[in-house]
Amino acid sequence: MHKNDTKLFSVWDIPLALVLLTRLPLPRLPENTFARQASAAWAFPVVGLIIGLLACAVGWATMALNLPAMVSAVFLVAVLIMTTGAMHEDGLADTVDGLWGGFTPERRLEIMKDSHIGAYGVLALIFTQLIRVALIATLLTASDYAAILAACILSRAIMPVLMNALPNARNSGLSHSVGGPRGLTVAAGFGLALLGAVLLMGAAAIPPTLVAALVVAVLAGVAKAKIGGQTGDILGASQQLAELIFMTAVVAAL
């Protein structure tokens, strides 16, 4: 693992965060840039904004073609999945398989590391993606692109919080290689995400943010109890849950 760069901000943080969290075509970064993997966590919300804008553009374009909102939502979700290489969805499936498929921390971690997906993971993906599409279809019908963008932004600010709050449950994998960001880095990222959400939605962004944070806190507690901390899969699951719960709260208030 690279030794972490201690500077709070760098011009390379946003492209580095894009490399870490997306599959977008990007120029090759200087090798020493990867020493800032943990310090670049403040830029995770910027990644959410970028891929959220791409996805919302597709959603808007398909709605402009008079396609049903449900179809447009499928296209929008497909963009979110393709731009990230299904990284977070895979983390959610592995998390559900592992946390509920084993009886010891070691066995749960082994299941989460297995590339095969189990019944729990399949069902989790089916249910969450159906809910995701339905929520986004409702928001598209209401032309509430701001809420979709805010969900993309805030859900990625949640991951550094868990990286800082929980110990790493294993000594390998993406979460371990990225390392734990400092509290100031986490605060900067979450503050940036909250500011972006408030600019997009006004004070209406606060209640769904609090509800999403509460649900992710429950996930963190379960992960700590069952495997002793967080992994890359737990981080991916936290992003998916935060996004879903945020949008659920918004739709419930429509």
In a domain, 1, yes or no: no
Give the model's pLDDT for residue 101.
Answer: 87
In a domain, 7, yes or no: no
Give the model's pLDDT for residue 173.
Answer: 57
The DSSP bridge partners found for residue 230 are 168
Dihedral sign computed on CA atoms, order 160, 218, 52, 119: positive
Give the model's pLDDT for residue 174.
Answer: 55
Phi-psi region of 229 (alpha: psi -120 to 50; beta: other; left: phi over 0): left
Give the model's pLDDT for residue 128.
Answer: 97
Cα(163)–Cα(234) distance, integer angstroms:
10
Give the model's pLDDT for residue 175.
Answer: 54
Give me the residues of the chain with pLDDT under 50, please.
Answer: 1-3
Give the model's pLDDT for residue 121.
Answer: 95
In a domain, 4, yes or no: no
In a domain, 120, yes or no: yes
Domain count, the chain: 1
In a domain, 52, yes or no: yes
In a domain, 108, yes or no: yes
Give the model's pLDDT for residue 245.
Answer: 98
Q: Name the residue range of residue 232's domain.
A: 13-252
- Write out the two tokens for 169: 């449950």
Under 8 Å between Cβ of 95 and 239? no
Look up the pTM and report it: 0.93
In a domain, 36, yes or no: yes
User: For the chain, how are helix, strand and coil distributed in percent, rounded to 5?
Assistant: 75, 0, 20
Give the model's pLDDT for residue 8.
Answer: 81
